[in-house]
Structure 1
Amino acid sequence: MSVPIFDSFLTTTDIIDVFDDVAVIQGMLDFEAALARAQAAEGLIPAQTARIIEKHCVADTFDISALIVAARRAGSMAIPLVKALTQKVAAEDAEAATKVHWGSTSQDVIDTAAVLVTRKALALIDGELNSLAARLLTLAQAHTQTPVLARTLMQPAQVTSLGFKFANWAAPLVRSRTQLKALADNALQLQLGGAVGTLAVMGDKGPAVAQRVAADLGLANPLANWHTQRDEWVRLGLEVAVLTGSLGKIATDLSLMAQGEIAELAEPSGQGRGGSSAMPHKRNPVSSMIALAAAGRTPHRAAALLANMPQEHERGLGNWQAELAEWPGLFLSAHGALTALHEAMDGLVIDTQRMRQNIDALQGLIFAEAVSIYLAGVIGRPAAHHLMETLTARAVTEKAHLSDVVRAAVNADEALRTQLDLSALDALFDPVNATGSGAAMARTLIPQLLAQLA
């Protein structure tokens, strides 16, 4: 697979290699070799014929550029490949050449190769996914009681636990990892049906051959071919898309918290990372950029998978081919985003002092709800809410800290002064105390997520 330059810098060399042209062709040839071995084992072709076919199933010996050009005319990559393989076998044994690809069809070859390379892609994704989720949970454990602003509708809301935020970033990654494993068990299966899915050429030996080929390649053997029944395959692709969306959510939060005006988190820097060609002071969040680029492109690929599911009769015309063309991009984007965010989290800079400054700069207004609830225990909820509306407005007008305004109001009201515990009231303005609920939730969530990763 030749990846355009603006795609390749958003992903990794490892995942590009998985979908490389040579790797895909080798997957197709691995299918042909396994098919020949299985047919020999079932007595459909001579063992010597299978050995000759297998010997020539080496991708590096084929002119792949010429195969691609020929495939444009043939309408399938398998057609020129099988022709070239047949010619190689025929040069050694003309009779053996008549058994190349026997009883199979082009889609069997291509789909099985796609399954084989996808299995490798999923292994790469699983490794990065596990590492990133584990790193986030390590950060979560270390920061369960670190206060940070929670923001809703892009505005400061309340104080929460930074550890809880990290755990919430990790949770969908852990869920996707579980889902990908389950979906892969169903989707990574052999494709072998012959011309119209009935294995007719191999007669009553067809099912046994299919079982042998599946076992040889380490794939599940489906109850029937899935030439135009793409549900399990598409579900796998869609979960990769969901994962990429979850990575985009992390990148969104990280990039916002890394803005200079906020400066609570920062991606690692140095060695040219995140620099600017014009502004030496810039520290661009390049990992977030890669993950956001992936999340922005993935929905279109996912939509293409769904749009091309209504395939005609026993072989799709254009829709299967469109699905194949979109498939690698899902995995390239996901692995690129995972790797980039893992790198960011490994070197993440956490400025707890700046987090506290951002909290303090809000004059205690973000604690208004907690104070209102405390007051409601004495004067009732409607009166407490009305009072806090008045006091928060006063704090804004006078540019005073809400705790000072509230304390002054309490001291001026004998009924409140005698019924309220001022030390308890002051504690409501302590950012560390305010992390209590979030920290408790984090301490419950983190062990559960770690257990799922094990």
Structure 2
Amino acid sequence: MSAHLVDSILYGHLWGTPEIRRLFDDEGRVQSWLDILAALAQAQAEVGLVPDDAARAIRDHADVRLLDLERVAAETRATGHSTLGLIRCLRDVLPEAAREWVYYGATVQDISDTWTALVMREVADIVDRDLARAEAAALALAERHRDTVMCGRTHGQPGLPVTFGFKAAVWASELRRHRERLAEGRPRWEVAQLGGALGTMEFWGEAALPLLEAFARRLGLAAPDIPWITARDRVAEFVNLLAMVTATIAKIGQEVYELQRPEIAELAEPFTAGQVGSITMPHKRNPELSEHLVTLARLVRADATVTVEGMIAEHERDGRAWKAEWVAVPEACLYTGAALALACRLLEGLDVDAARMRANLDARGGYVLSEPVMRVLADRVGKHTAHQIVYEAALAGRERGVDLGTALLADPRIAERLTPEEIARCLDPHAALGAAPAFVDRVLATIRGVRR
């Protein structure tokens, strides 16, 4: 039985993906740590610190299947040390001649921070892949609905017309920027850690710097300019980017959540037969996907706060700062993986009701087109005067319960300056889209150009 939802048989699918979970479960974590220990031994052999035979033996036995994880756990509890249980169990399966060369001069943080760098690399690959998929789905919506008019809304109220393609293009553009941030940040995060007791690498003498380079190279990581034992900005930056990624996804989810309301009914998330919205109200079709995206994003932001707090570390090592990441980083990665998987499903299966969008726009009686009228009138009486006139005419029209066109023609200050034909042109939603379709084209061209 699991005490954490991410590992729950019943609910785990909502809080992570099998792909990311494998990076953080005991088997995945221990195997990665063993790989790091093997790389360390081989790098030490390369610079003459460890016998070649011992390094090869460590590499050949760095296999989690050779270890009894229950015993590793018992030794960890007995020693009160994060890795001594693992080292003892690994030494037991090694040839005697290799046993003294395991973990030669390294510390827990050398192994765990290097593991974190490897995890950030693997998670970044997954995040970029799924962001690309979400971006492609948003881009397809933008292209398909380039000219699909709908109410734009500000402060929750109908404003000018926009197109749904414009809305989707904003999503695609934002998702693209997160992919750019990932690419820009990776050289800062994918960096090995090897410092020894205090980060000075004193144990390894003159071989220290060559060892650092060899160790990092064998793992496909960069060598740091200086060990980063108390410099937690790398981890904080990575998790905060995950927070930004999930915040964008949550914004999309929240938009679908709002526009799926039956009184608006312009969007609907994909629905599968057998899906139940409520155990008490059989008619309900709840926005489960879009709602959960907001929940996941809140949790990632909370984990991001923990990693920023970790940047305030004491002296040359501070377990309070560093070990909090052992919880925050896996959680943030799992929640982000789940959010991206759900977002792809949402965007790829999104049901867009163009007719309802137009009907909701028309139901506003033309009042959402007050700005185009004001703009034309401004050429004749000045912008601020035009605003006051149209404001008063719209207010009077709403009080009388008539559409905006009727209200405008009833105001002599407008009727004597604008013809009915000019007013009719102002009240055409397609004429009031401004550069919205052109902006969609710009996003399409930019992202497709980058892809090429």
TM-score normalized with structure 2 length: 0.93
1:293, 1:220 → 2: CA distance? 35
Q: Which residue of 2 aligns with 1:244?
A: 246
Per-residue deviation, residues 365-410 of structure 1 (Å, max 9, x unmatched): 111122112112223334422321232123212221111222344x
Q: CA deviation at 1:22?
A: 0.9
Q: Which residue of 1 aligns with 2:429?
A: 431
Matched residues, number: 447
Match of 1:401 among 400, 403, 413: 403
CA RMSD of aligned residues (A): 2.1
Q: Which residue of 2 aligns with 1:365?
A: 367
Q: Is the 8 A contact 2:194 2:227 kept in 1?
A: yes
Match of 1:345 among 344, 347, 358: 347
Q: Secondary structure in 1 aligned to 2:319? A: coil
Q: Which residue of 1 aligns with 2:334?
A: 332
Gapped regions of structure 1 (runs ≥ 5): none
Q: Which residue of 1 aligns with 2:136?
A: 134
Amino acid at match of 2:424: D
Amino acid at match of 1:17: R
Match of 2:85 among 69, 80, 83: 80
Q: CA deviation at 1:253?
A: 0.9
Q: Is the 8 A contact 2:135 2:172 kept in 1?
A: yes
1:314 is the counterpart of 2:316: yes
Q: Secondary structure in 2 aligned to 1:248? A: helix
Q: CA deviation at 1:350?
A: 0.4
Q: Which residue of 1 aligns with 2:167?
A: 165
Q: CA deviation at 1:72?
A: 4.5
Q: CA deviation at 1:10?
A: 2.8
Match of 2:230 among 222, 228, 231: 228
Amino acid at match of 1:437: A
Q: Is the 8 A contact 2:276 2:282 kept in 1?
A: no
Q: Secondary structure in 2 aligned to 1:436? A: coil
1:191, 1:269 → 2: CA distance? 47
Once the two structures are superposed, the pairs formed by residues 51-450 of structure 1 within 5 Å of their partners are 51-72=56-77, 74-89=79-94, 92-93=95-96, 95-273=97-275, 275-409=277-411, 416-417=415-416, 420-450=418-448
Amino acid at match of 1:14: E
Q: CA deviation at 1:274?
A: 5.8
1:215, 1:375 → 2: CA distance? 69
Gapped regions of structure 2 (runs ≥ 5): none
Q: Is the 8 A contact 2:153 2:160 kept in 1?
A: yes
Q: Is the 8 A contact 1:108 1:192 kept in 2?
A: yes
Identify if the C-alpha distance between structure 1 residues 260 and 65 changes in structure 2 by more than 3 Å, giving closer, same or farther: farther
Identify if the C-alpha distance between structure 1 residues 197 and 386 changes in structure 2 by more than 3 Å, giving closer, same or farther: closer
Per-residue deviation, residues 287-334 of structure 1 (Å, max 9, x unmatched): 212211111212211111111212222211322111221111111111
Match of 2:41 among 18, 36, 58: 36
Q: Is the 8 A contact 2:242 2:336 kept in 1?
A: yes
Q: CA deviation at 1:61?
A: 2.2
1:453, 1:340 → 2: CA distance? 24
Q: CA deviation at 1:453?
A: 4.9
Per-residue deviation, residues 327-383 of structure 1 (Å, max 9, x unmatched): 111111111111101101111110011111111111111111221121122233344
Amino acid at match of 1:262: I
2:270, 2:193 → 1: CA distance? 45
Amino acid at match of 1:316: D
Amino acid at match of 1:172: E
2:397, 2:120 → 1: CA distance? 59
Amino acid at match of 1:422: P
Q: Is the 8 A contact 1:190 1:214 kept in 2?
A: yes
Amino acid at match of 2:209: P
Deviating more after overlay: 65-74 vs 165-174: 65-74
2:27, 2:444 → 1: CA distance? 42
Amino acid at match of 1:27: S
Identify if the C-alpha distance between structure 1 residues 298 and 249 changes in structure 2 by more than 3 Å, giving closer, same or farther: same
Q: CA deviation at 1:70?
A: 3.9
Q: Secondary structure in 1 aligned to 2:399? A: helix
